[in-house]
Amino acid sequence: MKAIVYSNARNNLRGLINKVCDDFDEYMISTKDNKTAVLISYDEYASMKETLYLMSSKTNKERLDEAVEQIENANFTTKEIDV
């Protein structure tokens, strides 16, 4: 994550938006009175929100953890799908 002060962010906002959207960069923007915000792309934000939602249920989290473990141990079957 890159840090930038508010005045620089304001003067370069379009460029920062392009960087976070195109390169998945993240910027921590701080003000003179020590308030801080983070600039990320909408896609990254939506992905984080979805992950938080999926992990918020204990049952769903356990199922996802089990699925990841099966994949890591190559303990799964593949099926052909006719199109």
| Domain range annotation of the chain | 2-40, 43-72
Give the chain's mean pLDDT: 93
Residue-level pLDDT at 74: 86
Assign a CATH topology to domain 2-40: YefM-like fold (3.40.1620)
Helix and strand tally (H, E) in the chain? 4, 3
Could you tell me which of 41, 40, 56 has the C-alpha nearest to residue 64?
A: 56
| Local confidence pLDDT in tens for the 83 residues of the chain | 999 999 999 999 999 999 999 999 999 999 999 999 999 999 999 999 999 998 899 999 999 899 889 889 988 778 889 88
Could you tell me which of 31, 34, 42, 35 has the C-alpha nearest to residue 9?
A: 31
Residue-level pLDDT at 78: 80
> Which residues make Cβ contacts (< 8 Å) with residue 74, sequence separation at least 6?
none
